[in-house]
Amino acid sequence: MIEVKQLYKSFADLNVLNGVSLVVEDGQSMVVMGKSGQGKSVLLKLITRLLFPDSGQIIIDGDDLGSLTGKNLDACRLKFGMLFQSAALFDSLNICDNVGIGLKAYNRLSDEEIKKITRESLERVGLDNVGDKFPAQLSGGMRKRVGLARVVAMKPKYILYDEPTTGLDPVTSAQIAKMIKEMQIDLNVTSIIVTHDIPTGFFLADKIVLLNDGNFSFTGSVEEMKHSNVDSVKDFIRGFTTEADLNNR
């Protein structure tokens, strides 16, 4: 279980998070929505300790992340896999090496075992025939799937997704979202998905929070969000509808 308690984070004079609190139960798919610049990605980086909070606590399976150091911190981090917005592949490595890089760094496995896990992970995302290619040879959607294969290869307990469908066409976005949902079920992982894409968020969520002006203005189910009378929720949904209408004209 992930618990976020009264988390504050600012950059110079910019207050990003103002005392946010959140509980993500084991096996749950939590979607964090909000407009750009609201601090959604910052929240993920705080949970994985890529950034440090100004104050507040992050509790992972009963352990206070702020009190962990050295090997204990490394062990906690290994519970997490993260799919970055850009997929964050290494351009100089082929796809197999990209997927297996975490296994080589953190696991005492033979080369044959790493190759087997890498191959199985690529097959899981439908890319079993691209192992010798390089990231520049793949489409944006394929690079996202490679990033997901790299996450899956490490068998994490928690998977964090930072805008997994940003920059993708609607068909590819739907494919990625379906793949994420299948991973959630097949691997029985706990997920936090950051997105401002409402269809993707609604499709993936067991529970949704809306980050607005540094705090959560809404917490609830998809149906509760659809029928919410909270002004920030109505504005967020209305803005997406307007944008979609404009793009389809």
Q: pLDDT by residue (tens digit) across 21-68?
A: 999 999 999 999 998 888 999 999 999 999 999 999 999 999 999 999
Per CATH, the homologous superfamily of domain 1-79+194-249 is P-loop containing nucleotide triphosphate hydrolases (3.40.50.300)
Structure tokens at 78: 């290994």
pLDDT band at 167; cut points 50, 70, 90: confident
| pTM of the predicted model as reported, rounded to 2 decimal places | 0.89
- Percent of the chain topping pLDDT 90: 70
Task: Spell 160-169 as b/e; 16+ CB within 10 A means b.
Answer: bbbbbbbebe
Domain limits, the chain: 1-79+194-249
Q: Which of 237, 156, 202, 218 is nearest to 22 (CA)?
A: 218
The dihedral of CA 62, 65, 71, 74: what is its sign?
positive
- Which pLDDT belongs to residue 247? 44
- Which pLDDT belongs to residue 65? 93
